[in-house]
Amino acid sequence: TRRTLGTQSDGDGNLINPAANDVDDPSWLAKARLTFGDNDEHSLTASYTSTESTEYDVPYDSFGTTTFGNVDREVNSETFMLRYGYNPLGNDLIDLTAQLSYANEEILQTAVVPGNPLLDADHQYETTTLTLKNRARFDTGALGHSLVTGVELINRKRLNASSAPGGEDDRWAVFAVDEIQIGEAWTVTPALRYESSTIQGSTAPTDGRYSNDALMGGLSLRYAFGNGWSVFGSAAYTEVLPPIDDLDNIARVTQSEKSRTYEIGAAYERRDAFRAGDTLSFKINAYDTKLWDVTSFVSTTIVGGIPVFTDLDEINTQGIEIEASYALENGLYMDANLNIADGSETTAAQIEQDWRNLAANSARLTLGKRFGETYDLSWEAVAADDITVNGVRSSGYVTHNLRATIAPQSGVWAGTEFRIGVENLFDKQYQPHLSTRAATGRNVKLTLAKTF
């Protein structure tokens, strides 16, 4: 694939980022697979992926560091992968894979607001991963199991940069996930993971060495009523072990960042719901997440004119997600989703305030029609509500998009897909919440894909 993009302007015609160059992001993948042995029970797969991507006005904290603002980021990555598989016919206890991968990632970034050397720091990571995994299918009485067990070894190196000290992170983990089917209705899936990490810095003051480990897990439940309705719920506990950057802070390097998440919801799926040939699906999910021993975000207090940074005590977020789709046999279809969220953060001084990265409530509606498998035409509306976070207000907006897809099924163009889309059809001027720049005005995207 190849993605090209000129300098963008907002709905008023002003250049959003005048200093930006035109984007030219090529990406490609080469992959080969060989099967051999009796009934092709052995397989070898090799692949190479090269990707270039350019992002403007994105949070620096996507790396798990403190929130200092947004950056313009270029990422160049290449990944080599070799995988061996063994799945003997007639033996449900063995479905083995062994995968070795190497990834080299270079990250070039510039602060949206100039003058911050931390945000201007470039990064380079080299990650080698070996994963051994087996899926065993078996029954214990009335219970049907699909048990995945495995072990993972990870070595990650970060090269030195002036504002991003280098080092090495060696990790190993063992894990197990058992999908248990009880009759036709119940599905119970417990999961467990133990992970150990040793980090070694290469540049003072983060040139120390420290080891941490964590036991994580979760449980999900689903009950299907047999009439299209189902209910589900889950609970999960996770830990994020300290990174190299925390080696100069004894309080951070000795503790992991912890979280727990609860989810509960219901879903409905049915054919011939209102008329012959139609399909209807609906899903609602409510979640509640708590993050504590927080090290990836800080609060700032001015003492004597000097900013003092302290870790947050906890972050709480709650929300509801709703998805619905309906399609007729004649090709007409509708997709809709709604996201409602709320959240708070608590400082070390036990001061509670709005969660700084709280997303605005949003909705999306798509209406379209498919003409066989060759043509697909659709209109989409995207809306975000007004939101006020810690006294700062962001206005809501509604934008409209059009898309047309042509996928010839025969002839010289068979296997080719042409897609043209017009985003922000009415050239609306707006600035999304959590962005520091205005959004792109009306723009046209052309996509060409070929399956060989």
Which pLDDT band, with edges at 50, 70 and 90, does 160 fall under?
low
Which has more confidence, 36 or 15?
Answer: 36
Flag whether pLDDT at 62 surpasses 50: no
Q: Token pair for residue 188?
A: 């119970």
CA distances from 267 to 151, 225, 273, 286, 303 (A): 34, 11, 14, 12, 52
Classify residue 253 by its DSSP letter. Answer: H
Average pLDDT value over all residues in the chain: 86
**What confidence score (pLDDT) does residue 20 get?**
58
pLDDT value at position 413?
A: 85
pTM over 0.85? The answer is: no
Q: 334 pLDDT band (50/70/90 cuts)?
A: very high
- Residue 402: is its pLDDT beyond 80? yes
Measured distance CA(252)–CA(383) in Å, rounded = 40
**Contact (CB, 8 A) for 122 and 161:** yes
pLDDT at 67 over 60: no
Q: Which stretch of 166-170, 244-248, 251-255, 257-261 has the lowest confidence by average pLDDT?
A: 244-248
pLDDT for the residue numbered 55: 66
pLDDT at 410 over 70: yes
Percent of the chain with pLDDT over 90: 56
Tell me the pLDDT band of 153, cut-offs 50, 70 and 90. very high
- Rounded Cα–Cα distance for residues 327 and 271 (Å): 10
User: 388 or 311: whose pLDDT is higher?
Assistant: 388
Residue range 81-133, pLDDT digits in tens: 999 999 999 999 999 999 999 999 887 766 655 555 445 566 778 899 999 99
Domain coordinates in residue numbering, the chain? 24-211
pLDDT score, position 17: 62
| Averaged pLDDT for residues 24-34 | 84
Of 209, 99, 212, the C-alpha closest to 152 is: 99
Amino acid at 314: E
Per-residue pLDDT for 142 more than 50? yes
Between residues 448 and 342, the one the model is more confident about: 342
Q: Is 319 exposed, middle or buried (0-12, 13-18, 19+ CB in 10 A)?
A: middle
Helix, strand, coil fractions of the chain, as percent rounded to 5: 5, 65, 30
Query: Residue 404 has which token pair?
Result: 């047309």
SS3 60: helix
Q: Determine the CATH number of domain 24-211.
A: 2.40.170.20
What pLDDT is attached to residue 66? 39
Residue 51 is which amino acid?
Answer: T
Q: What's the mean pLDDT in 316-342?
A: 97
Nearest-angstrom CA–CA distance, 411 and 413: 5
- H or E, element range at 250: helix 250-253
State which amino acid sits at residue 260: R
Residue 258: name the closest of 309, 296, 285, 221 by CA: 296
Those residues whose C-beta lies under 8 Å from the C-beta of residue 347, and which sit 6 or more positions away, are: 299, 310, 312, 313, 353
How much is the pLDDT for 64?
37
* Average pLDDT score over residue span 407-429: 90
From CA 338, how far away is CA 100, in angstroms rounded?
40
